[in-house]
Amino acid sequence: MNTPGMNEAGAAAQVQAPAQFVHEIARSFVDGLARSVDPFGMSAPILHAQLAWAAHPAELHDRLTRLSADLWRLHQHTVRRTLGLPSDDPMPAIEGDTRFSDPAWSELPSWDLLKEWYLAFTRHTQDMLYDTPGLSEKDRERAAFWWRNWLNAVAPTNFLLTNPVALRKAFETGGESLVRGFGNFLDDLRAGDVRMTDPDDFKVGENLALTPGAVIMRNRLVEVIHYAPTCPRVHAEPVVIITPWINKFYVLDLVPKKSMVRYLLDQGLDVFITSWKNPGPDMADVTFDDYLMEGLHGTIEAARAFTGAPRVHAVGYCIGGTALAMYMAWANRHFPEDAVPVADWTLLTTLVDFRSPGEIEVFIDESSVRSLCEAMAQKGCLDGREMAASFRLLRANSLIWHYIVHGWLYGEAPPAFDVLYWNMDTTRMPQAMHGWYLRELYLHNRLIKPDALTVAGEPLDLRRIRQPLYAVAAEDDHIAPWRETFRIHRHIGGEKRFVLSSSGHILGIVNPVVDPPKRSYRAAAVQAGDRAESWQDASAARPGSWWEDWMAWLKPRAGKRVAARPAASEEFPALAAAPGTYVLER
How long a stretch of residues is the chain?
586
Query: What's the rounded Cα separation, in Å, for the pair 171 and 167?
Result: 6
Phi, psi values for residue 216, rounded to 5° = -105, -5
Query: What's the rounded Cα separation, in Å, for the pair 41 and 75?
Result: 37
Provide the strand spans (E) within 477-519: 496-501
Query: What's the rounded Cα separation, in Å, for the pair 318 and 244?
Result: 6
- Catalytic site residue 373? no
CA-wise closest residue to 40 among 196, 149, 193? 149
Residue type (1 letter), 483: R
Q: Are 149 and 372 in contact (CB under 8 A)?
A: no
Q: 204: which DSSP letter?
A: B
Query: What's the rounded Cα separation, in Å, for the pair 261 and 453?
Result: 33
Residue 304: partners with Cβ closer than 8 Å, 6 or more residues away: 238, 310, 311, 312, 341
Strand partners, 470: 346, 497
Question: By three-state DSSP, how is residue 463 classified?
Answer: helix
CA-wise closest residue to 166 among 413, 398, 414, 408? 408
Query: What's the rounded Cα separation, in Å, for the pair 556 and 553?
Result: 7
- Cα 398 to the center of its chain, rounded Å: 14
First to last CA, the chain: 71
Whole-angstrom CA distances from 167 to 15, 180, 408, 534 are 54, 14, 12, 51
Residue 565 CB-half CA count within 13 A: 28
Query: What's the rounded Cα separation, in Å, for the pair 255 and 584?
Result: 17
3-state secondary structure 131-144: CCCCCCHHHHHHHH
Whole-angstrom CA distances from 452 to 337, 434, 437, 448, 473 are 22, 18, 14, 8, 26
Q: Are 189 and 553 in contact (CB under 8 A)?
A: no
Query: What's the rounded Cα separation, in Å, for the pair 575 and 291?
Result: 21
Residue type (1 letter), 199: P
- Widest CA span of the chain, in angstroms? 96
Backbone angle region of 411, left / alpha / beta, with phi > 0 → left and psi within -120 to 50 → alpha: left
CB atoms within 10 A of CB 491: 18
Catalytic residue numbers?
A: 318
